[in-house]
C-alpha cells in the first residue's frame, strides 16, 4: 500500500513537471524538425549538386562511430524529473541501498576486483619462477589472501562501523569468488558464463572443455559430470579448508607484524615457499640413487581430520598432486636463494604496509583505486657490510 502511494505521488509530480516544461521531454526524445520560413532562400543548383556528391560519399564510406546505447525508461525519468529523482533515491534508501554497509560492499568489490585479485596474474613470473609455486588454484588463493590481509590492516583502522563493514565485505567478496571458481572447476557450465570478478589465466581448469569437445554451436558436448549433491559436498568441504587457511595465515601475519621480521619470514616460508626443506635438505648420494619425493604435511587446516590415524612419514612420501614438495637432490642448490626470497617478500610486506598507512581514510573509502594498487616484489638491496657477515 505504501509503495502504491509513493508511485502514485511520483507519477503526479512527474506529470506536473512535464506539463510545466515541455522542452525537457523534447530534448530526451527525438529532435524536432526545423520549420522552413516562407522567406527562406531556396538552395542554388550548385549547392544542391555539391550536397548530392556529399551524400553519395557518405553512403560509400561506412560510419565508424559506435552506436550510442539507448537509455532505459527509468534512466530517462530520473534524469528528466527532479521530483522522480528525489522519490527514486528515497525509495532505494528505504530498501537499504544507500546504507553504510551497502556502500562499503560496493567499495569493497572495487578494491577486491582491481587491487587484490589481480596480483597473482601481475606477479605471475615471480611466484612461478623464483618461488617455484605451481600455477594452481591453491597458489592463487594464497597470493590473493596475502594482499587481502595487507588491505585489511588499514581497513580495520577505519572508524567504526566503517572499518567493520569494509573489512567484512572485502572478505565476503573474496570467498564468494572462491566459491564461484571452485564450482567452475568441479562442474564447468555448458555455455561460457561471466565470472564473479574476472577470468583469470593464473591456473588451468582441468575440467574445462577442450577444442574437440565443442559442438558446431560452440557448446560443450555431454560428458560425465559430478552430480549437484556431490558437487555441493565437495565445495562445502573445500570452503571449510580455505576458511581455516585464511584464518591461520592471517593470524600468523598479524603475529609477525607486531613481533619481528624473523616471524614474518617464517610465515613466508610456510605459505609462499611451500615449507620446503622442513625435514632437512636431501643431497644426491650417488649418480645411481633413485629420486626421492617428500612434502610437508599440513596437519592443521588441511585435509587431515584425525592426526592420530595417519602415518606422517608415509604421508610425506605420497604425492598429493598439489605440485608443492621438497626439491629433489639434484635441485638442492635452489635452497640457496631461499633466504633472499624471504627477505624480498618480507620487505615487500613492510613497504606496502607503510604506503597504505600514508593513505587517508577518505581515499580508501572513496578515492581513486589506482592509487591503492600494490607494487611488485623487488629484491631488497643488502649493504656490502651485511653481506660479509
Q: What is the pLDDT at residue 277? A: 84
Q: Where are the alpha helices (DSSP H) in 97-189?
A: 100-111, 119-122, 124-125, 137-155, 162-186
Range ranked top by mean pLDDT from 19-28, 87-96, 177-186, 206-215: 177-186
Residue 36 has pLDDT above 50, yes or no: no
Whether the CB-CB separation of 224 and 277 falls below 8 Å is answered with no
pLDDT band at 353, cuts 50/70/90? very high
Give CA–CA dist 207/2, Å, rounded. 51
Residue with cell 521531454: 25
Whether residue 182 contacts residue 240, with contact meaning beta carbons closer than 8 Å, is answered with no
pLDDT tens by residue, 99-120: 888 889 999 999 999 999 999 9
Place of cell 614438495: 325
12 vs 263: which has the higher pLDDT? 263
pLDDT at 325: 72
Report residue 17's pLDDT band, with 50, 70 and 90 as the boundaries.
very low
Please classify residue 290 by burial: count the beta carbons closer than 10 Å to its beta carbon, then call 0-12 exposed, 13-18 middle and 19+ buried. Answer: exposed
Return d(Cα 51, Cα 48) in angstroms, integer: 5
Residue with cell 616484489: 377
- Domain assignment present for residue 357? The answer is yes
211 in any annotated domain: no
9, three cell numbers: 505521488
**Residue 215 belongs to a domain:** no
CA distance 250 to 142: 11
What's the pLDDT score for residue 287?
Answer: 57
Q: How many CB atoms lie within 10 A of CB 346?
A: 21
Enclosing domain of residue 359: 100-200+224-283+291-387
Question: Is residue 2 included in any domain, yes or no?
Answer: no
pTM: 0.68
Question: Residue 345: how many CA atoms within 13 Å on its side-chain side?
Answer: 27
Pure H helices in 213-260:
228-258
Give a yes or no: residue 254 inside a domain. yes
According to the model, what pLDDT value does residue 308 have?
62
∠ CA 12-14-20, nearest 5°, is 105
Is residue 88, in this structure, part of any structural domain at all? no
Tally the domains of the chain. Answer: 1
Residue 334, class by beta-carbon neighbours within 10 Å (0-12 exposed, 13-18 middle, 19+ buried)? middle
Is the preceding omega at residue 161 within 30 degrees of 0, hence cis?
yes
Reply yes or no on whether the pLDDT at 55 is more than 50. Answer: no
In a domain, 33, yes or no: no
Dihedral sign for Cα 251, 256, 262, 265, please.
positive
CA distance linking residue 143 with residue 149, whole number of Å? 10
| Residue 347 falls inside a structural domain | yes
Could you tell me which residue, 93 or 249, shows the higher pLDDT?
Answer: 249
* Contact predicate 322/134, CB 8 Å: yes
d(CA 283, CA 332): 6
Q: How many CB atoms lie within 10 A of CB 275?
A: 18
Question: 24 burial class (0-12, 13-18, 19+ CB within 10 angstroms)?
Answer: middle
Assess contact for 349 and 264: CB atoms under 8 A.
yes
What does the DSSP 8-state code read for residue 372?
G
Mean pLDDT of the chain: 75
Residue 118 · residue 151 · CB < 8 Å: no
Bridge partners of residue 214, in order along the sequence:
220
Amino acid at each position: 500500500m505504501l509503495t502504491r502511494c509513493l508511485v502514485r505521488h511520483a507519477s503526479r509530480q512527474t506529470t506536473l513537471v512535464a506539463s510545466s516544461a515541455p522542452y525537457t521531454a523534447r530534448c530526451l526524445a527525438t529532435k524536432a524538425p526545423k520549420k522552413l520560413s516562407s522567406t527562406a532562400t531556396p538552395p542554388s543548383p550548385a549547392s544542391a549538386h555539391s550536397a548530392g556528391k556529399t551524400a553519395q560519399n557518405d553512403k560509400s564510406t561506412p560510419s565508424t562511430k559506435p552506436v550510442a546505447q539507448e537509455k532505459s525508461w527509468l534512466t530517462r525519468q530520473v534524469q528528466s524529473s527532479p521530483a522522480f529523482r528525489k522519490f527514486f533515491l528515497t525509495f532505494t534508501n528505504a530498501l537499504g541501498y544507500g546504507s553504510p554497509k551497502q556502500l562499503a560492499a560496493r567499495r569493497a568489490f572495487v578494491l577486491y576486483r582491481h587491487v587484490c585479485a589481480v596480483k597473482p596474474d601481475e606477479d605471475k613470473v615471480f611466484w612461478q619462477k623464483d618461488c617455484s609455486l605451481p600455477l594452481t588454484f591453491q597458489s592463487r588463493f594464497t597470493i590473493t589472501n596475502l594482499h587481502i590481509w595487507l588491505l585489511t590492516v588499514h581497513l580495520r583502522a577505519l572508524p567504526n562501523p566503517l572499518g567493520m563493514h569494509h573489512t567484512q565485505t572485502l572478505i565476503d567478496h573474496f570467498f564468494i569468488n572462491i566459491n564461484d571458481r571452485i564450482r567452475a572447476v568441479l562442474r564447468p557450465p555448458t555455455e561460457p558464463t561471466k565470472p564473479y570478478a574476472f577470468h583469470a589465466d593464473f591456473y588451468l581448469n582441468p575440467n574445462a572443455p577442450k577444442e574437440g569437445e565443442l559442438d558446431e554451436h560452440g557448446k560443450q558436448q555431454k560428458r560425465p559430470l559430478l552430480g549437484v549433491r556431490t558437487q555441493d559436498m565437495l565445495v562445502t568441504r573445500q570452503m571449510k579448508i580455505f576458511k581455516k587457511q585464511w584464518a591461520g595465515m592471517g593470524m600468523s601475519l598479524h603475529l609477525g607484524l607486531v613481533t619481528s621480521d624473523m616471524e614474518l619470514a617464517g610465515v613466508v616460508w610456510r605459505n609462499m615457499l611451500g615449507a620446503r626443506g622442513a625435514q632437512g635438505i636431501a643431497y644426491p648420494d650417488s649418480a645411481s640413487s633413485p629420486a626421492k619425493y617428500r612434502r610437508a604435511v599440513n596437519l592443521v587446516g588441511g585435509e587431515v581430520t584425525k592426526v592420530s590415524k595417519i602415518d606422517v612419514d608415509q604421508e610425506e612420501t605420497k604425492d598429493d598432486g598439489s605440485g608443492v614438495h621438497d626439491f629433489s637432490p639434484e635441485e638442492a642448490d635452489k635452497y640457496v636463494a631461499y633466504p633472499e626470497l624471504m627477505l624480498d617478500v618480507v620487505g615487500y610486506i613492510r613497504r606496502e604496509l607503510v604506503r597504505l598507512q600514508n593513505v587517508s581514510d577518505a581515499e580508501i573509502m572513496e578515492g581513486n583505486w589506482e592509487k591503492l594498487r600494490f607494487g611488485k616484489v623487488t629484491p631488497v638491496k643488502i649493504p656490502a657490510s651485511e653481506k660479509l657477515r
